[in-house]
Amino acid sequence: MKRCLDEVYPAAKAELDFTTPLELLVAVVLSAQTTDVRVNLVTPALFKRYPTAADYAGADRAELEEYLRTTGFFRAKANSVLGLGAALTERFGGEVPGRLEDLVTLPGVGRKTANVVLGNAFGVPGITVDTHFGRLVRRWGWTTEEDPVKVEPAIGELIPRQEWTMLSHRVIFHGRRVCHARKPACGACPLKRDCPSFGAGPTEFEAAAKLVKGEERAHILELAARG
């Protein structure tokens, strides 16, 4: 299945827009309970207004909340971003640390967020266990663990460390485009021959094809039809 994932999503990547570790860290914090598309609409103006950790630390709360309002839970997210700015400024010289044990001490940052930042901003391999990743690896029988903290090492034992970050991207891509939570596009899935959960969604190609999303749709359907 992994080999097929590699073929289906060779260019998978983080779908949040960023140019620096700080931008990525803030974007991931903002992505909670909303879509990457929504976050990407908000961050250009946000990043221009607050280019440094010190800028976030000294931000006016009301103004910051207005920038974040459309991301949902904006008051809690403002708290996290203000806390991030202060912690980075006071403890890390304004720079985002490149170690997991440091990142998880920051406000609003757990292992998932830390692994996203490490893998995509610092090139440190990490497994990102979001809702898509957890759902798919359980559907595939790779693990029965429900706790993301336990899923991470369970999958890490199956896959070479240097491939962890790309595996995370590809699994998440597949979860967003094909293997949906309520109605997976089983009949139009390139992984269908090897999937133990085949049949959880429509198995007829035409019906399933209507459920496939994303820019890669034509490529996905071509591979699925071939299989």
Is 152 found in the same domain as 114?
A: no
Q: Which two tokens stand for residue 42?
A: 């908000």
Q: What is the pLDDT of residue 106?
A: 96
Answer whether residue 147 is part of any domain. yes
Token reading at 158: 């199956």
- Tell me, yes or no, whether 14 lies in a domain: no
Catalytic residue among 17, 130, 192, 210: 130
Residue 72 placed within a domain:
yes
Residue 193 lies in a domain: yes
91, 121, 151: which is the final residue of a domain?
121
- List the CATH number of the domain containing 74: 1.10.340.30
Domain count, the chain: 2
What size, in residues, is the chain? 227
Specify whether 136 is located in the same domain as 114. Answer: no
Global pTM reads: 0.93
CATH number for the domain that contains residue 199: 1.10.1670.10
Which of 96, 121, 146 represents a domain boundary (last residue)?
Answer: 121
Q: Does the annotation mark 147 as catalytic?
A: no
pLDDT at 163: 97
| Residue 8 near residue 179 (C-beta atoms within 8 A) | no
- Closest to 172 in 3D by CA, of 10, 3, 1, 14: 14
Integer Cα distance of 108 and 24 in angstroms: 13
Cα-based distances in Å from 42 to 27, 69, 209? 9, 9, 32
For the question of residue 130 being annotated catalytic, the response is yes
Place of tokens 């991470």: 152
Judgement on whether residues 44 and 73 belong to the same structural domain of the protein: yes
Please identify, among 79, 99, 121, the residue that sits at the C-terminal boundary of a domain. 121
User: Which class for 200: exposed (0-12), middle (13-18), buried (19 or more C-beta within 10 A)?
Assistant: middle
Structural domain boundaries enclosing 39: 21-121
Q: What is the pLDDT of residue 227?
A: 73
Residues 143 and 112 in one domain: no
Residue numbers of the chain with a pLDDT score lower than 50: none
Clarify whether residues 112 and 153 are in a common domain. no
Whether residues 172 and 219 share a domain: the answer is yes
Burial of 1 (0-12, 13-18, 19+ CB in 10 A): middle
pLDDT, tens only, 34-84? 999 999 999 999 999 999 999 999 999 999 999 999 999 999 999 999 999
Q: Which of 2, 17, 112, 150 is catalytic?
A: 112
DSSP 8-state assignment for residue 129:
-
pLDDT at 154: 98
Q: 16 lies in a domain? A: no
